[in-house]
Structure 1
Amino acid sequence: METNLKEIVLNNSDDIVRMWLEEIEKNRKHDYTSTISDELFESTNREFVNVIFSSLEKKGLTNDIEGFAERLINLGWPLSYLTDGMQAFRRVTINYILSQSTKVDTDYFSEILSKVDEWVDPIINQLVNEYSGSWENIVSLQKVALQELSAPLIPVMENITVMPLIGTIDTERAKQIMENLLDGVIKHHSEVVLIDITGVPVVDTMVAHHIIQAAEAVRLIGSTCILVGIRPEIAQTIVNLGIDLSKFPTKSSLRKGFESALEITNRQIVELEGQHKDIEELIDSLDGE
């Protein structure tokens, strides 16, 4: 039975392909592929159906499926294009086989459904697996990139670095802050690190605890941590919560923190023609003034 059914499909592949392309074209009006050029859409469909028939002829999954799925992923085509295409192939194939039979009983109809499912389902599963693997890889890379961007350590002057924090701080991000902070201090030979919390909307007990831990870790490796960006409402919250920040310096702005960092590193702003202006501009740019 299986051999006969496959022979019907393979021997009449031109008719089945034509019917499949007609159905795909009909569905195009209702999905995103309507924005794709006719040439690209047609060539992709031809490649798709060739991959399907190649799998049938070789009696199993092929590398062609993997390569085709990878190309579509790179082009940004959704998985629905592939799954819808395979379901259309299933319908067209079943209908064509039935149209070639003079007499169809329940057993024969069930056998056709079963055999076509055996051809189509493994292809769908492989396509889904290819897409899932690609998405997992992309999400993993994006997560790493976001983690790096969420806690950057920026060297602004010899031995002085700044870590601007923006957004909420949870346990996972606090861990990333700690790692970036310690790695950056050693990498840049920082004597002073300015942690700027101007962009942190809420400083509660947990956030303050993480910041204190980070500052203490910096102190243990021989550097000084200055917490800057203490807005009035943040200062009031810290006092109300009874949080002790007396172990390391705090400043209301990045400008004041940078001035303290210069003093700690035995430097100061002096009135020299040209140079004083440059330093003032640097401080203003750091403070966003």
Structure 2
Amino acid sequence: MNQKFKKVVIENSDIIVEQWMMEINSLKGGNYTANISTDLFESTNREFVNVIFTSIQNEGSSKAVEDFSEKIINLGWPLSYITDGLQVFRRVTVNYILSQSEQVDSAFISNVLKSVDLWVEPLIRQLVNEYSGSWEHIVSLQRLALQELSAPLIPVMDSITVMPLIGTIDTERAKLIMENLLEGVIKHNSEVVLIDITGVPVVDTMVANHIIQAAEAVRLIGSTCILVGIRPEIAQTIVNLGIDLAKFPTKSSLKKGFTKALEITNRKVVDLERKDESIERMIESIQGE
């Protein structure tokens, strides 16, 4: 930036900031900032303009830019907040420099515009790049977190585990289900795995094939897979599509599936009250003899 213009801007930063704040505040109410509290909006604007002036004084301050971009993302504000703010700052700065000069011919105006652009454009690129990079990083972390939650394998009893599935199953998620299922079966030494599709809204040919492949993979490593949570509409869809689920047990509810899993592992649910009553009757019968 032209050193003469730079000096003017820095020496009159208070005036430029106030003009910028006035214009930014005038935009509030007609865009994405309408629902932001006044205090938060003003404090963030003050921090924004400090980042801008820090940039011109230090010829670029990547740390301040990085921190501010990350803050905007955490607040949930769009990238347009940054670009709009810098465009307004560009306009305010140019207007102020021109208003302070007696020379306003085309060459001077062109020089002012070029000088301000040389200052603002790199800052726009830096802020946008930092914002995009931070956003991609956050999205990546969220994606990993969702993947961990999308196909959990839960051991509920010795040799019995449950995999509850919720939401749509696509190819990528099906691959994750398969990996978690096989790793979990070996890790927990599971004899029976219950795949609960109660929370899966649609079961089409693709979804059914993925589930069949997962069940077949479990069978090949010596365990049994039970598909539970088959609602009437899903059962009808499976029949209409001609999908064969005869290779492994299916149950309408997790409770029924768990009972079946106990049978497979040579266990059963016993009503202790009835058992106690039976024992008491047996004792009374013996004593009566």
How would you bin the TM-score normalised by the shorter chain? 0.7 to 0.9
Instruction: Give 1:201 deviation, angstroms.
Output: 3.7
Partner of 1:287: none
What code does the residue aligned with 2:47 have? E
Partner of 1:284: none
Between 124-133 and 23-32, report the one with greater CA deviation.
23-32
User: 2: CA distance between counterparts of 1:275 and 1:145?
Assistant: 46
* Correspondence 1:232-243 to 2 at 5 A: 232-243=232-243
Task: Provide closer, same or farther for how the CA distance between residues 240 and 17 of structure 1 changes in structure 2, counting only shifts above 3 A.
Answer: closer
User: 2: CA distance between counterparts of 1:271 and 1:48?
Assistant: 68
User: 2: CA distance between counterparts of 1:25 and 1:230?
Assistant: 56
Where structure 2 has 5 or more consecutive residues not aligned to the other structure, the ranges are: 277-289
Q: Would you say the 8 A contact 1:61–1:122 is kept in 2?
A: no
Instruction: Give 1:26 deviation, angstroms.
Output: 2.6
Say which SS state the counterpart of residue 273 (structure 1) adopts: helix
Partner of 1:213: 213
Partner of 2:282: none
* Correspondence 1:20-59 to 2 at 5 A: 20-31=20-31, 33=33, 36=36, 38-59=38-59
* Correspondence 1:112-261 to 2 at 5 A: 112-261=112-261
What code does the residue aligned with 1:22 have? M
Q: Which whole-Å deviations, capped at 9, do the CAs of 1:111-168 have from their partners, x for residues lacking one?
A: 2111111111111111112221222122222222323333222222221111222333
What code does the residue aligned with 1:7 have? K
Q: Would you say the 8 A contact 2:69–2:134 is kept in 1?
A: no
What code does the residue aligned with 1:120 have? V
Between 64-73 and 104-113, report the one with greater CA deviation.
64-73
Say which SS state the counterpart of residue 156 (structure 2) adopts: strand
Partner of 2:284: none
Where structure 1 has 5 or more consecutive residues not aligned to the other structure, the ranges are: 277-289
Q: Which whole-Å deviations, capped at 9, do the CAs of 1:31-85 have from their partners, x for residues lacking one?
A: 4546555554444333322221221122334422222323333344443332222
Task: Provide closer, same or farther for how the CA distance between residues 64 and 261 of structure 1 changes in structure 2, counting only shifts above 3 A.
Answer: same
Q: State whether structure 2 residue 7 is matched by structure 1 residue 14.
A: no
Say which SS state the counterpart of residue 96 (structure 1) adopts: helix
Partner of 2:83: 83
Identity of aligned residues (%): 73
Task: Provide closer, same or farther for how the CA distance between residues 114 and 214 of structure 1 changes in structure 2, counting only shifts above 3 A.
Answer: same
Between 89-98 and 199-208, report the one with greater CA deviation.
199-208
User: 2: CA distance between counterparts of 1:189 and 1:124?
Assistant: 56
What code does the residue aligned with 2:255 have? R
User: 2: CA distance between counterparts of 1:85 and 1:223?
Assistant: 61
Task: Provide closer, same or farther for how the CA distance between residues 120 and 244 of structure 1 changes in structure 2, counting only shifts above 3 A.
Answer: same
CA RMSD after TM alignment: 2.6
Instruction: Give 1:87 deviation, angstroms.
Output: 1.3
Say which SS state the counterpart of residue 22 (structure 2) adopts: helix
Aligned length: 276
Task: Provide closer, same or farther for how the CA distance between residues 136 and 263 of structure 1 changes in structure 2, counting only shifts above 3 A.
Answer: same
Between 98-107 and 197-206, report the one with greater CA deviation.
197-206
Task: Provide closer, same or farther for how the CA distance between residues 262 and 10 of structure 1 changes in structure 2, counting only shifts above 3 A.
Answer: same
Q: Which whole-Å deviations, capped at 9, do the CAs of 1:171-212 have from their partners, x for residues lacking one?
A: 112112111211222232211001122333433332221111
Partner of 2:108: 108
